[in-house]
Structure 1
Amino acid sequence: MTDLDQVLKHLRTALILTVAGSALSLTACGKGPGDQTAGQKMDSVIAKTEQAGADAKAKTESAAAKVGAAVDDAAITASVSTKLAKDPDLSATKIDVDTAGGVVSLSGPAPNAAAKARAEEIAKSVNGVASVHNNLEVKSM
């Protein structure tokens, strides 16, 4: 079971407990005898339960999207780092790679301008990269 599955399971459990508590509260807090029939009270509880379910679903989908974006960024960072380490001209260079929203930032030293440009090309070649901020500094090594 992945972390996302566990989060979703906990959210579902919390939703069920909230709905059950709300249903009990609503049935116990009637306005008075004769104001609503049992069927009307049940319809009201059902409508509120459905709305609570829809709200919880929207929050869960939003949380899942955020988790998915973080996983995508981590995968991009790992892929760029691996490709840089495999490149014969860059493997000895310590290049820091960070990714946020598909935007890759490269920082650290580069032995020359060609190596700096090559690092940017490699980063851009990775699937999911929207753009690259090349902050590498050309330094003699």
Structure 2
Amino acid sequence: MILKQELLLRLLRLNCAFLVAGAVVVALAACTESEKAESRKNVDTAVEKTEDATVAAARKAADLAEKARDNTVNYFKSPDVKEDIHAAKQALKNAGSGLGASANDTAITASVSAAIARDPELGPRQIEVASKSGAVKLSGSAPSAEAKSRAEQIARTVSGVDSVDNRLTVTN
């Protein structure tokens, strides 16, 4: 970055020198010797001031660039930003966990429903299955107490089922 600034400074000086030289040539062509000397002095003074201003501007730009870099680094190292980044990571992690749990509940519900549907006595019945975090809830009707108990046992055999809330009612 400093090399770019130095190159820019040199280009500015060179452009200024050409402009000043052109002005000197024009001014000198129309002047007497004393006027030429005075013009050269004025031009030299103007060139020096221009060079000084250019150097000062380049230094100021370099200082501002360094301050901006330092401020950016300090900003990303600040506790508030680190805390925000940590909170965002946790939110993404929690969102992923929630999606995984939801997909798992859906798989458990489908597996329990399919297993109950394969039972000849329970299959034709309207048995609703719901699951949340491994807890399965059965609702609807069963033709007998044995069938109600069998539905619960079928649900317990499905992978991922931790508990069964059997709310089936016995209807003849």
TM-score (norm 1): 0.68
Match of 1:47 in 2: 77
Q: How many Å apart are 1:89 and its aligned residue?
A: 2.0
Q: How does 1:1-141 map to 2 (within 5 A)?
A: 37-48=67-78, 49-140=81-172
Q: How many Å apart are 1:101 and its aligned residue?
A: 1.6
Structure having greater relative contact order (Cα 8 Å, sep ≥ 6): 1
CA RMSD of aligned residues (A): 2.2
Q: What amino acid is the match of 2:157?
A: S
Q: How many Å apart are 1:67 and its aligned residue?
A: 1.2
Match of 1:30 in 2: none
Asked which structure has the greater CA Rg, the reply is 2
SS in 2 for 1:107: strand
C-alpha distance in structure 1 between counterparts of 2:73 and 2:145, whole Å: 71
Q: How many Å apart are 1:39 and its aligned residue?
A: 4.6
Match of 2:44 in 1: none
Q: How many Å apart are 1:51 and its aligned residue?
A: 4.2
C-alpha distance in structure 1 between counterparts of 2:77 and 2:108, whole Å: 43
- Structure 1 stretch displaced more, 46-55 or 68-77: 46-55
- Structure 1 stretch displaced more, 114-123 or 40-49: 40-49
Aligned residue pair count = 107
Residues 24-82 of structure 1 deviation map (CA, whole Å, 9 limit, x = unaligned): xxxxxxxxx99x94453122222255543332111100111111111111110000000
Q: Percent identity?
A: 40
C-alpha distance in structure 2 between counterparts of 1:51 and 1:38, whole Å: 22
Gaps in structure 2 of 5+ consecutive residues:
1-62
C-alpha distance in structure 2 between counterparts of 1:136 and 1:108, whole Å: 5
Gaps in structure 1 of 5+ consecutive residues:
1-32
